[in-house]
Amino acid sequence: MPTAVGGQFDAGLRNGLLALRRDLHQHPELSFAEARTAAQLEAAIRQFATPAGDTVSVQQVAGTGLVARIPGLSRSAPVVAIRGDIDALPIQEDTGLPYASVNAGVMHACGHDVHATWAIGAASLLARRPAHGDVLIVLQPAEEIGEGASAILASDALDGVSAIFGAHVDRRFPVGQVVAQAGSLAAAADTFSITLRGRGAHGARPHESADPILGAGMLVVALQSVVSRRVNPSVPAVLTVATLQAGTASNIIPDHATIGGTLRTIDPQTRTLVAEEVRRIAHGIAATHGLEADVRIELGPPPIVNPEREAMWAHAAAVSLVGSNNVVPLGITNMGGEDFAYYMERIPGAFLRIGAREAGGEPTPAHSPKFFADDGALFIGAAVLAETARRASAALATR
């Protein structure tokens, strides 16, 4: 760990954050059910956000979310925010960690145990060396279902915030590397569901049916032409059919079939085009097979595109802590979604990636039963986010 990072964490804080991370990992909770998690985090922020002590206010918002205010040097200065998400995924853990999940079918397969912990770490660092203005620590529920950020915003707890910053662990990068750059960092994450309704019949007499399974099969294939033939090849897009439900028995043609999946795009024009093509193709296939199509597209988080100014503050903070050689480009177009984008629709900000792969480790993908983030990532994340908040606060105060 770089000296500029490690030197900020004394033994008590370091051990406390490690214990908190392990506790959160061992007791994961699903979106909007993070009651124990929120209680542990509130206790931790009151314990570690010193020397501010009892001047730290903690507000419960959005059900299981928390917003804590770490006082700055000037209470009249612009306020900035740091967000850490706290929910887990419905996955059975298979890491073999000594602190593996004890909740069957639930695990922190996306690193939110680390995100929550580094937010507490950042709060402690900011309490010890304050920013120019106050900093809000946002502990957000329900990122995994794309609803938590909207719920936090609806609470009005972030009204008046001038800038917001967040980050995500990433095992494609080793511990010590940070991605802090302007431009595209995550894609819009929309979902679709298409129900084809026809006429059921005996499996031995298919001519008496309007077969929705045949239509669904043709539709799955036809939808693959959207990205390959309708989207400009220079623009990234993903259309994945992930579910197909139909039928109850091998000798019955059902009267309906439903497919569903995800649409990922990085610009508004392509986002609109892909949705329109899904509708057009679904209705066309349905008409061809004598079916009716019910097409539903639910818009999820928009893309994350870091603006130059906020990314510059984050980049400078990262360089000061891990060195310029370790502030690296993302190197890919990330088609994953992230509901931090909702904050950035209303508040200027930037989103970072924090290396989380241990020495000699493999780049295990997130949302995998074997995913975990190395402990070192939480100290890098805490230090970089705290320093980003300080630099943003100082810059905003001089405008």
Sheet holding 79-85, edge to edge: 57-61, 65-70, 135-140, 79-85, 161-174, 349-357, 178-179
Q: Tell me which residue of 25, 18, 66, 9 sits closest to 42, measured CA to CA.
A: 66
pLDDT at residue 280 is higher than 60: yes
Q: Is 256 annotated as a binding residue?
A: no
Q: Which of 266, 298, 330 is the last residue of a domain?
A: 298
**Residues 154 and 218 placed together within one structural domain of the fold:** no
Q: Is 168 annotated as a binding residue?
A: yes
Tell whether 161 and 12 lie within a shared domain: yes
Given 258, 273, 298, the domain boundary residue is 298
Q: What is the CATH number of the domain that holds 276?
A: 3.30.70.360
Residues 254 and 372 both lie in one domain: no
Residues 6+ apart with CB under 8 A from 194: 219, 258, 259, 260, 278, 282, 293, 294, 295, 296
Shared domain for 172 and 206, answered yes or no, is no
Q: Are residues 214 and 318 in the same domain?
A: no
* Span 248-263, average pLDDT: 98
Based on the fold, state whether residues 283 and 377 are members of the same structural domain.
no
Residue 332 CB-density burial (10 A; 0-12 exposed, 13-18 middle, 19+ buried): exposed
What is the number of domains present in the chain?
Answer: 2
Task: Establish whether 25 is an annotated binding residue.
Answer: no
Mean pLDDT calculated for residue range 186-210: 97
Per-residue model confidence (pLDDT) at position 1? 80
Structural domain for 238, as ranges:
188-298
Q: Are 122 and 386 in contact, with CB atoms under 8 Å apart? A: yes
Tens of pLDDT along 142-163? 999 999 999 999 999 999 999 9
Looking at residue 51, its pLDDT comes to 61
34 is in an annotated binding site: no
> Is there a single domain that holds both residue 66 and residue 140?
yes
My answer on whether 90 and 209 are in the same domain is no
In a shared domain, residues 157 and 200: no
Is 110 annotated in some ligand binding site? Answer: yes
State the pLDDT confidence band at 64, using cuts at 50, 70 and 90: very high
Average pLDDT, whole number, for the chain?
Answer: 96
pLDDT tens string 328-358? 999 999 999 999 999 999 999 999 999 999 9
- In this prediction the pTM is 0.93
pLDDT over 80 at 399, yes or no: no
User: Of the residues 270, 298, 326, which one is the last residue of a structural domain?
Assistant: 298
Same domain, 365 and 377: yes
Q: Are residues 84 and 154 in the same domain?
A: yes
Which residue is associated with the tokens 């910053």? 165
**Greater pLDDT, 54 or 317:** 317
Instruction: Give me the CATH number covering residue 111.
Output: 3.40.630.10
User: What is the band of 3 on the pLDDT scale with cuts at 50, 70, 90?
Assistant: confident
What is the per-residue pLDDT for 56?
A: 85
10 and 63 housed in the same domain: yes
pLDDT of 53: 53
